[in-house]
Structure 1
Amino acid sequence: MSANKTAMGDIASSTETYPFEKDERYRSQQGLNGFAVKEPFLPNGLGLQVRKRKMVRKRKNVDESPFSVLCAWVVEHQIGLSLNLLLLLSLTHFFFSRARPYTSLFLGMSYYNPKSKKYTQGWEDMYFVATWIIIITGLRVAVMDYILKPIARYGGVNKPKAQVRFAEQGWLFCYYSLFSPLGMYIIYQTKYWFNLREIWTDFPTHTMNGLLKWYYLVQFAFWLQQIFVVNIEEKRKDYWQMFSHHIFTSALMFSSYGYYQTKVGVVILAIMDVVDLLLPLAKMLKYMNFRTACDITFGVFIAVWFVARHVIYMMVCWSMFSEIPHVMKQGCYNSTTGQMISEDGGTAVWWNVMQPFDRPGGTICYNNNIRIAFTALLMALQVLTLIWFGMILRVAYGVLSGKGAEDSRSDDEGEDEEYEEIEYYDDKIKSFDGTNEIVTRTIALPIEEDVNAEEMNLGLRRKSTSPTTASAPRRSTRRTGSARATALSIPGHSDKKDILGRIGCDKPS
């Protein structure tokens, strides 16, 4: 048994430790842990030592670098920045005629053919996309702050973070309430409604009507803006899956738009948007504590997810694999007339995807490498959705069987905060000789008590100023948070962890 010199004067304590020993004598003493700890033996027959510790939990300092401050400022002023940019653009367009050839690119869709009354695609479309990124950014925050948060408060959602979560899901519900039926309407007006083979006919289909082009470009702007959103919201446990999903989706939209495959792009978007309409609805019902409605929506959500994302979606992928070789012949085509120029499609992929941006009206080729590249992107999305669906089924099974569930895609991830724990010391120690005698000795020892940091005046001691004072406070970090489930109203199981974070229907604590 070795002895160490401690900061508590010249008292030597043993490094040998013993198990905790409960002692009923101390349960009623306020501020004690309720048991005596048989740890360091003290001289002079002090025996058992009861120590009082007080822990102060305070939020750790956040990053205050110039870049972080700038990002925080942008996030706090999204509405003002969006309005000012749009106002500046509009005033420039109306009052400076020489600037109109440039500002008109931001305010309207390009490449309109008055004769055919159709649009084509090109690089100037990206200016229109940029405008809609700004519009969506400002509109999102305005709807959240001035419409959805008041609705949340009216519906009994009182906690600020829960109101933010409700507003985030409410915005998605509003967005998909418009674009999900709009996508279905566009497909319904075409010949490839319930006929996947027609998706691949008439390649290259370089013209489109105004509604299809507006729908596609605004959707592209939305998904680019979602990359920004997922990085400004408090990060969930599935941050990297969501970030990867947005990257893959944006890449697919850009490449399909450039390669004259907007038909399959609209089909994929419509398939995905049906599910994304139900998901935020279930979340909103969860926060407003409509348990029965949430349970029903959750069940419908699982069924629609499976049918849309794992049946119809895979039918589209299979059509790409099985029907394209019979419908789209490998070779090079005139992008304007669609006439085949050569049966040699080469091996290039990116060169052909960028054709309408680099060489409008030029030659575009199709080869097997292009089909493989598009299939790989679609299957990457399928892998992500399979991972999420597996989480949904696993947690749903745990809830139905009455077991707790680990929150795998939690909205409550943002509830976790990093705190700094600091041990403070008082100047009393109560020690016992093992029988009834109590010896009180003045000494600095830790105190344990959960308190609000703002309510304390403890006089932190950074250094030891005398043999009887404590050493510098010890610091450690701990992540604290809560996770609850369940969406389903199961008798006797009302206090379980959350269903999968983004899907659960239990009212948050």
Structure 2
Amino acid sequence: MLNPLFSPLGSLTPERSASPVYTNGKPSRRPSVSPWLRWAVHPSSSLKLLLVPIVLYINWELLSPYLVPGISNPFGGFFLISNRLPSSTPEQSFYGKSYQDLLFLGYNVVFFSLVRQVVAVKLSRRVAKYFGLKREAKLDRFGEQGYALVYFMVFGAWGFRIMGQLRTWWYRTEYFWIDYPHWEMTPELKRYYLMQIAYWCQQFLVLVLGLEKPRKDYWELVAHHIVTLWLVGWSYFMNLTLIGNAVFMSMDIPDTFLAFSKLLNYIQWERAKVYSFVTFIFVWTYFRHYLNLRILYSVWFEFELRPEASRIWKAVDGVYLVEWMRNQIFLALGLLQLLNLFWYYLMMRILVRAIVTSKTEDERSDDEGDDDEDPKED
């Protein structure tokens, strides 16, 4: 029986719950972090931190007309996108980059820490217990994939919706470069992009704090996170959000199917998990390889479509596409594709072994590290 237990990207959520796991009313496996980072592992701390800018924002709105009239609210940048451009119209608003984006990023790193704890620990564990899972390692991992499913399903659908509003709809790659720089963003595109960056910053924080148990492909996962942060940071800074949206969507949609397949495996829905795994293979192949190779082709062969005036490095005009940037963009996307090919190779080995021998154990199975758990599962 096919067993889609492996995670070709590594788990994109921590292998161990970062908030206390309660057994018989007592907390266990509480991670040790600095008091300054309690918000990263305790949902109550992150919620309190998230409420502070909102309370300050409301107080400013109520009191500033009497105390400091005419001064804009300095706390909105934490949870509202900033820098509405003069080119906006009553029908359509446009936003540019701003230093306040850093406040928005920091706020949403805390936000994703809260969401991760609520979904992975509070909600998914209850679902797992409903389906009969009792071992702590299984409950943790079910929670991880529950969070992954929610995140990638929401952001995959959101990215799909945003691309539908752009000229790049369904990978019309020439529009990655035509009329560059694309520094005027719709409110939805800017919020989506910054929240994606915040998510990956939060995931990298998980690795740095050691909140997940290292796996056999730990260094590949670290490399993936570094390359991803490189791509999302540079693409936002260099006004390449259209190609960034295309890359995000090609990654998030297959990850949704991956998380769903793993959840079915945990609850042992045998036939459903086989169909889900086969579907996942096709979705991964199309999005992670075919579409990403189209993007790489565009970077190398359609780069010349950028306007002549943008072929300089001039920050004041938001243009950065000098000739050597072709190599820089291609290198980052190429490294990401190599990592995807590595995981694709592991997937194909499992698939071939399943067909030939009916054995589907993964070299880096999610059961790693379960030896310390009670081997009995009622």
TM-score category of the 2 structures, normalised to the smaller one: 0.7 to 0.9
Equivalent pair of 1:329/1:366 in contact (CA under 8 Å): no
Deviations 1:79-113 (A, max 9, x none): 02211111222222223547974322212111112
The 5 A counterparts of 1:211-222 are 211-222=188-199
Separation in structure 1 between the aligned mates of residue 135 and residue 374 of structure 2, nearest angstrom: 15
Change (3 A) 1:94 1:100: farther
1:363 CA displacement: 5.8
1:251 CA displacement: 1.2
Separation in structure 2 between the aligned mates of residue 150 and residue 364 of structure 1, nearest angstrom: 50
Change (3 A) 1:214 1:162: same
1:404 CA displacement: 4.5
Tell me the residue number matched to 1:296: 275
Tell me the residue number matched to 1:107: 79
Matched, 1:306 2:278: no
Q: What TM-score comes out, normalization by structure 1 length? A: 0.61
1:416 CA displacement: 4.8
1:72 CA displacement: 12
Higher RCO (Cα < 8 Å, 6 or more apart): 2
Change (3 A) 1:71 1:170: farther
Aligned length, in residue pairs: 332
The one-letter code sitting in structure 1 at the alignment partner of 2:105 is V
1:225 CA displacement: 1.1
Tell me the residue number matched to 1:328: 306
Separation in structure 1 between the aligned mates of residue 187 and residue 118 of structure 2, nearest angstrom: 28
1:209 CA displacement: 0.6
Q: What TM-score comes out, normalization by structure 2 length? A: 0.81
Find 1:178's aligned residue among 141, 154, 161: 154
Tell me the residue number matched to 1:422: none
Separation in structure 2 between the aligned mates of residue 284 and residue 155 of structure 1, nearest angstrom: 11
Change (3 A) 1:193 1:113: same
Tell me the residue number matched to 1:136: 112
Deviations 1:44-74 (A, max 9, x none): xxxxxxxxxxxxxxxxxxxxxxx95538983
Change (3 A) 1:134 1:403: same
Equivalent pair of 2:40/2:110 in contact (CA under 8 Å): no
The one-letter code sitting in structure 2 at the alignment partner of 1:324 is F
Indicate the RMSD between aligned Cα atoms, in angstroms. 2.6
Deviations 1:343-381 (A, max 9, x none): 6x3xx7xxx6xx3xxxxx446342121110010000000
1:75 CA displacement: 7.7
Q: Write 1 or 2 for the structure with the bigger share of strand.
A: 1
Equivalent pair of 1:241/1:384 in contact (CA under 8 Å): yes
Say which SS state the counterpart of residue 198 (structure 2) adopts.
helix
The 5 A counterparts of 1:38-53 are none
Deviations 1:445-495 (A, max 9, x none): xxxxxxxxxxxxxxxxxxxxxxxxxxxxxxxxxxx999xxxxxxxxxxxxx
Equivalent pair of 1:180/1:270 in contact (CA under 8 Å): yes
Equivalent pair of 1:170/1:280 in contact (CA under 8 Å): yes
Change (3 A) 1:77 1:364: closer
Matched, 1:149 2:125: yes
The one-letter code sitting in structure 1 at the alignment partner of 2:141 is R
The one-letter code sitting in structure 2 at the alignment partner of 1:316 is I
1:412 CA displacement: 2.0
1:123 CA displacement: 2.5
Tell me the residue number matched to 1:505: none
Separation in structure 1 between the aligned mates of residue 282 and residue 238 of structure 2, nearest angstrom: 33
Change (3 A) 1:72 1:102: closer
Matched, 1:202 2:179: yes
1:392 CA displacement: 0.8
Find 2:357's aligned residue among 402, 427, 430: 402
The one-letter code sitting in structure 1 at the alignment partner of 2:323 is N
The 5 A counterparts of 1:207-286 are 207-230=184-207, 231-286=210-265
| Structure 1: segments with no counterpart, 5+ residues | 1-66, 334-342, 356-360, 418-479, 483-507
Tell me the residue number matched to 2:328: 373
Tell me the residue number matched to 1:436: none
Separation in structure 1 between the aligned mates of residue 54 and residue 141 of structure 2, nearest angstrom: 33
1:141 CA displacement: 0.4
| Structure 2: segments with no counterpart, 5+ residues | 1-30
Separation in structure 2 between the aligned mates of residue 127 and residue 371 of structure 1, nearest angstrom: 31
Separation in structure 1 between the aligned mates of residue 358 and residue 163 of structure 2, nearest angstrom: 43
Separation in structure 2 between the aligned mates of residue 137 and residue 299 of structure 1, nearest angstrom: 32
Matched, 1:125 2:89: no
The one-letter code sitting in structure 2 at the alignment partner of 1:176 is F
Equivalent pair of 1:271/1:308 in contact (CA under 8 Å): yes
Equivalent pair of 2:85/2:94 in contact (CA under 8 Å): yes
Tell me the residue number matched to 1:499: none
Change (3 A) 1:148 1:301: same
Separation in structure 2 between the aligned mates of residue 120 and residue 69 of structure 1, nearest angstrom: 36
Change (3 A) 1:384 1:106: same
Separation in structure 2 between the aligned mates of residue 363 and residue 219 of structure 1, nearest angstrom: 21
Identity across the alignment (%)? 29
Tell me the residue number matched to 1:92: 56
Tell me the residue number matched to 2:20: none
Separation in structure 2 between the aligned mates of residue 225 and residue 76 of structure 1, nearest angstrom: 9
1:250 CA displacement: 1.4
The one-letter code sitting in structure 2 at the alignment partner of 1:175 is Y
Separation in structure 2 between the aligned mates of residue 324 and residue 303 of structure 1, nearest angstrom: 29
Change (3 A) 1:72 1:398: farther
The one-letter code sitting in structure 2 at the alignment partner of 1:86 is L
Change (3 A) 1:370 1:69: closer
Separation in structure 2 between the aligned mates of residue 144 and residue 245 of structure 1, nearest angstrom: 22
Separation in structure 1 between the aligned mates of residue 134 and residue 184 of structure 2, nearest angstrom: 51
Separation in structure 2 between the aligned mates of residue 77 and residue 256 of structure 1, nearest angstrom: 30
Equivalent pair of 1:93/1:100 in contact (CA under 8 Å): no
Separation in structure 2 between the aligned mates of residue 168 and residue 95 of structure 1, nearest angstrom: 37
Change (3 A) 1:88 1:281: same
Tell me the residue number matched to 1:318: 297
